[in-house]
Structure 1
């Protein structure tokens, strides 16, 4: 919807941005689509998440593809809901890593960010899971039942 404050979006609003390229790859102008789907950093995140969740590798071309992915990966029930939460957590974590890089000069690796995604999504899911208890070991193996 054009509301994410990437450098391209800020320029369209006549805000001067000193660095226009993606903070992760420094290869292309930072747009929403590049940051979350086209950047090599983001593709590394999606490869790690799909491997962890035991689904086939995905190729996403837009944020909408990421948001709707839980509908088409063959998961059902509580696992599908958990996967959707993981995808939202991953989007938020990428945005947070981008901001930490810009404002705090803190760089994160793909591995660091995937670990953060696992941890934050586990805490989110565990606090909302009403059908018993899920433990960390099961979450790391993506075994919901």
Structure 2
């Protein structure tokens, strides 16, 4: 990434390891990469929320695209977004450090089910007052907070 090379850290390539077509930067890796964007779209559809026309890291961190009508839903959705970004970074590293014969398979892995299960694990352990059920979490995560 540009920041690493400017600090004297040798990087083998500055091209995104996921799409292999754009210069890698944090915005591209976590929000703009077409492969990553497809995961974000699955997340928006899962929560039944229209996707923003453009997504930035600042939007995610400062919760500017999270509906504010229910505090519990907003906090949970932010937790899902943090889980999603962590999963994207982990996926990026897996692709980047995979054996050349395994890169294509790693690149086309669907990480969305991992996002769903890991976010349930993390959120259910942070919300002791709620009872979480896998079936409800997968079918209607917003309904868990009603």
- Would the aligned equivalents of 1:60 and 1:66 in 2 still touch at CA under 8 Å? no
For residues 54-111 of structure 1, the C-alpha deviation after alignment (integer angstroms, 9 at most, x for no partner) is 101223342111222366434412111110100000010000001111123451436x
Aligned position for 2:46: 52
- Would the aligned equivalents of 1:90 and 1:117 in 2 still touch at CA under 8 Å? yes
Residues in 2 aligned to 1:75 and 1:109: alpha-carbon distance in whole angstroms: 36
For residues 108-141 of structure 1, the C-alpha deviation after alignment (integer angstroms, 9 at most, x for no partner) is 436x211110010000111122223110011112
TM-score by length of 2: 0.85
Aligned position for 1:68: 62
Q: Which residues of 2 match residues 123-134 of structure 1 at below 5 A?
A: 123-134=121-132
**What residue ranges of structure 2 are gaps of 5+ in the alignment?**
none
**What residue ranges of structure 1 are gaps of 5+ in the alignment?**
1-6
Residues in 2 aligned to 1:59 and 1:12: alpha-carbon distance in whole angstroms: 31
Q: Indicate how the Cα distance of structure 1 residues 71 and 40 shifts in structure 2: closer, same or farther if over 3 A, else same.
A: closer
TM-score by length of 1: 0.85
Which residue of 90, 115, 118 corresponds with 1:117?
115
Greater shift in the superposed pair: 78-87 or 53-62: 53-62
Q: SS in structure 2 opposite 1:48? A: helix
Q: Indicate how the Cα distance of structure 1 residues 77 and 42 shifts in structure 2: closer, same or farther if over 3 A, else same.
A: same
- Would the aligned equivalents of 1:70 and 1:80 in 2 still touch at CA under 8 Å? no
Aligned position for 1:4: none
Aligned position for 2:10: 16
